[in-house]
Amino acid sequence: MQATRARGRPGTSALRHLDLTLLLSTIGIAAVGLVMVYSATRQKQESAGLDPAFFLKRQAVFLALGLVAMAIVTLVDYHHIRDYAPVIYVVAMVTLLLVISPVGTSRRGTQAWFQIGAFQFQPSEVAKLVLIIALAAVCAAYRGHLETPGLLTALGLAFVPMALIYAQPDLGTNMVFVGIVIAVLLVAGARPRHIAVLALLGITALVLVVELDMLQDYQRDRLTAFLDPQTDTQRSSYNLRQSQIAIAAGGVSGRGLFQGTQTNLSFVPEQHTDFIFTAVGEELGFLGALSLLGLFGVMMWRIWRAAVLARDQLGRLLCVGVLAMLVFQIFENVGMTMGITPITGIPLPFMSYGGSAMITSCMAVGLVLNVHMRRFS
Amino acid sequence: MTQDSSRLRLAILGMVVLSLFCALLTRLWYLQVLASPTLKVEAQHNSVAVVYTQAPRGRILDRNGKVLADNRVVLALVADREEIEKHPAVLPRLAGHLGVPVELLHERLADDRFSLYKPVPLAVDVPKEKVIYVREHQSDFPGIDGLQLTERFYPNGPLAAHLLGTVGEINDKELGPRKAEGYKPGDAIGKSGIELTYETELRGEPEIAKLEIDSVGRVQRSLGGQPSVQGDDIRLSIDIDIQRLAEESLAQGIDLARRSTDFLTGKPFVATGGSVVVLDPRDGSVVAMASNPTYDPNEFVNGISVRRFTELNDPAGHYPLNNRAIQGLYAPGSTFKLATSLAGLRHGMITPRDTYDDQGSYSVAGQRFTNARGARNGIVDVSRALTVSSDVFYYWLGERFWDSRGRLGTAAIQEVARSIGMGEYTEIDLPFESNGRVSDPAGREKMHKDNPEAFPYPEWYTGDNLNIAVGQGDTAITPLQLANSYATFVNGGSVYAPRVADAVLNREGVEIRTVEPKVLKREDIPASVRSPLMAGFRNVVADPEGTAYGAFAGFPLAQFPVAGKTGTAEAPPKQDTSLFTAYAPADSPRYVISVVLEQAGMGASAAAPVARRVLEGIAAKEGVATAAPTAVNRVLGRD
DSSP string, A174-228: HHHHHHHHHHHHHHHT--HHHHHHHHHHHHHHHHHHHHTT-S-HHHHHHHHGGG-
Find the range with the poorest average confidence among A92-96, B11-15, B81-85, B484-488: B81-85
Alpha helices (H) along B389-497: 391-403, 405-408, 412-419, 441-450, 462-469, 479-490
| Tens-place pLDDT, residues B141-187 | 888 888 888 889 999 999 999 999 999 888 888 888 888 888 887 78
Residues 304-363 of A with CB under 8 A from B: 304, 307-308, 313, 316, 320, 323-324, 327, 330-331, 334-335, 338-340
Read off the pLDDT band of A3 (50, 70, 90): very low
The helix/strand/coil state of B441 is helix
Find the range with the poorest average confidence among A166-180, A254-268, B221-235, B488-502: A254-268
- Read off the pLDDT of each residue in A193-213 and give the average, rounded to a whole number: 79
User: Is the model's pLDDT at A224 over the cut of 80?
Assistant: no
What is the least distance, in Å, from the CA of B20 to any CA of chain A? 7
User: Is the model's pLDDT at B404 over the cut of 70?
Assistant: yes
User: Is the model's pLDDT at A248 over the cut of 50?
Assistant: yes
On whether the CB atoms of residues B519 and B494 are closer than 8 A, the answer is yes
B438-454 CB burial, b ≥16 within 10 A, e <16: bbbbebbeebbeeeeee
User: Which of B6, B138, B220 is the closest to A144 by Cβ?
Assistant: B6
Q: What is the pLDDT, as a whole number, of residue A190?
A: 84
The CA-to-CA distance between both ends of chain A, in Å, stands at: 14
Residues 6+ apart with CB under 8 A from B248: none
The values of phi and psi at residue B211, to 5°, are -120, 145
Q: Residue A332 belongs to what H/E stretch?
A: helix A313-337
The helix/strand/coil state of B502 is strand
The values of phi and psi at residue B330, to 5°, are -135, 145
What is the least distance, in Å, from the CA of A124 to any CA of chain B? 17
Residue A371 CA from chain centroid, whole number: 19
B537-556 CB burial, b ≥16 within 10 A, e <16: bbbbbbbeebbbbbbbeebb
Which of B28, B86, B87 to mutate to test binding with chain A, by most A CBs within 10 Å of its CB? B28
Q: What is the pLDDT, as a whole number, of residue B147?
A: 80
User: Is the model's pLDDT at A5 over the cut of 50?
Assistant: no
Partners of B5 on chain A (C-beta within 8 Å) are 144, 189
| Tens-place pLDDT, residues B309-319 | 888 988 888 99
Partners of A304 on chain B (C-beta within 8 Å) are 10, 13-14, 17
What is the least distance, in Å, from the CA of A324 to any CA of chain B? 8
Report d(CA B26, CA A289) in Å as an integer. 12
Find the range with the poorest average confidence among A241-245, A358-362, B503-507, B527-531: A241-245
User: Which of B27, B145, B221 is the closest to A44 by Cβ?
Assistant: B145
Read off the pLDDT band of A4 (50, 70, 90): very low
What is the least distance, in Å, from the CA of B191 to any CA of chain A? 29
User: Is the model's pLDDT at A363 over the cut of 50?
Assistant: yes
Residue B154 to residues A244, A315, A377, B192, B313: CA-CA distances in angstroms? 48, 70, 76, 14, 21
Report d(CA B26, CA B4) in Å as an integer. 32
A235 and B86 within 8 Å at the Cβ level: the answer is yes
Give CA torsion, residues B531, B536, B539, B541, to 10 deg.
-110
Read off the pLDDT band of B344 (50, 70, 90): very high
Find the range with the poorest average confidence among A153-167, A255-269, B260-274, B357-371: A255-269
User: Is the model's pLDDT at B443 over the cut of 70?
Assistant: yes
Tell me the sheet residues that pair with B229.
B205
Summary mean pLDDT of chain B: 89
The values of phi and psi at residue A31, to 5°, are -65, -45
Alpha helices (H) along B143-282: 161-164, 172-178, 193-197, 199-203, 240-258
Report the chain A residue with the minimal C-alpha distance to residue B73.
A49
On whether the CB atoms of residues B235 and B63 are closer than 8 A, the answer is yes
